[in-house]
Structure 1
Amino acid sequence: MTQEESRLLRELIYEHCGLSFGDDMRYLLERRLAPRLQCHGLADFSGYYRFLRCDPGRRTELATAAEVLTTNETYFYREPHQLRAFSEEILPVLAEDRAGQRRVRIWSAGCSTGEEVYTIAVLLVRSGLFEGWNLEVFGSDIARRVLAVARAGAYGPHAFRTPEAEAIRPWFRTEAGKWHAKDRIRNLVSFGHLNLLDDRAMGLVGPVDVIFCRNVMIYFDLAARKRVVQAFRERLRDGGYLLLGHSESLLDVTSDFELVQLRHDLVYRKPRRF
């Protein structure tokens, strides 16, 4: 891959979904996109660029390119300190605030293969705070392949590799060497394909109480992060929470959220209007 080919492909992918890759990422682009050339019988990356620009199947291929460039490994109960803050400190607040409506909606934006979504669902049920409530945990991702895994709800033992994940196992049953989410948890979750920079699609999500968006915005430049965070703000109810990855912050992105120091973690909250 030449420097010019790298630049053209990076610009095109950015236009499509906001993923931002620097000049130093040329090797990663070449390594991850090379199989796509073979798939379409293309001789070089210039041909692949023309394919992405002009071919009738360009949108499908652009989605596939975005998927292979952002594949992330995930597992149950990732970032346990934050999940402990969510379970022990945020959920009791939600139970009090939403007692009149008896409904809680949580969105996992960039859910990958779904372990985070099922973890959240288990924590909701285990809390014992929401018996008889309308609960929904919605997971979205730009990659259709990982969504298929999430919808299946079946995982190998490696997905439970953290000590904290052992508490989640009782909510799964074993079959053919995999752990399958039990119906009580599956009935709380749903998944959908979503580009976080698609304003129309984002508007369809509806109001939510908590947004998890962990280790997703590391792929966005500042302009894209601002767009996504503004969309999150519009989706969150007043007093709702935004939980990012531990390497991420809203510094230089927005001042529209309060940084809240909980016992177990720092989280962002949309201010209440009085």
Structure 2
Amino acid sequence: MTIENYYLTLTCKNRPGIVAAVSTYIFEQGGDIEEAQQFDDKASKRFFMRVSFSCAADAHVLKTGFIEIANRFELSWDLRAVKEYKRVLIMASKLDHCLVDLLYRWRIGELPMIICGIVSNHPREVYASIDFADIPFHHLPVTPETKATQEAALLDIVAKDKVDMVILARYMQILSDHLSTQLSGRCINVHHSFLPSFKGAKPYHQAHARGIKLIGATAHFVTSDLDEGPIIEQDVTRVTHGDTPEDLVRKGRDLERTVLSRALRYYLHDRVLNNGATSVVFSD
């Protein structure tokens, strides 16, 4: 039989025997564990685990056999064949640096995913220099008066295309509480600031006004609380008193690209597990 690669992720209330049960099961199925990471959160008393393994058994057989262990330990879990790419919808506005970067990394195979489409509140002409190939493009303009209708159309696309994750690649519109709730756990945003500092509009200008020596960018899950969702990835770069706000914006663009692509890569490889107000990220 063909050897397939799998990702198994799980979380539960911590108790003895979980690792032994999981590793024994994979062994009994003829699997070979290639990477295993775990985390015991002392504060919440919850256990998190990610296992990458190869096995000749198909996904249905593995999932069916694992149910007994899942029930015994009351696991929240997922088992996925690596070849089953996740389906991603990218949203952008006029600033296209994150969008272009994601498309490039996808084309060279760095981000293994299916791009279901690109959504923008601006027409396709704004992106005339970008080759979208056969990726569907959806122009969904929005005003305060049409916001509810626009977001309903977006949710229709998410449902029709069976989207696993929505990526806000500098999409410069605030999602409504309703939409944020509908996309809970399925939407990642990049914020041009090292959250929780300098939230809201023009964070680089806020940082410049305070004489900050480090600026950053943050990728986080979207929640109804603006810029307060569980953080997935962050990075910083040094700046000086001689940098203008425009210099900070320029340097920030590089951070935003790196942080968003890194967060997306972690998600695509099942390295991000929700832990209430925070995230457990098993970095590579």
Which one has the bigger helix percentage?
1
* TM-score category of the 2 structures, normalised to the smaller one: 0.3 to 0.5
TM-score (norm 1): 0.36
Q: Bigger relative contact order, structure 1 or 2, given CA contacts below 8 A and separation 6+? A: 1
TM-score (norm 2): 0.35
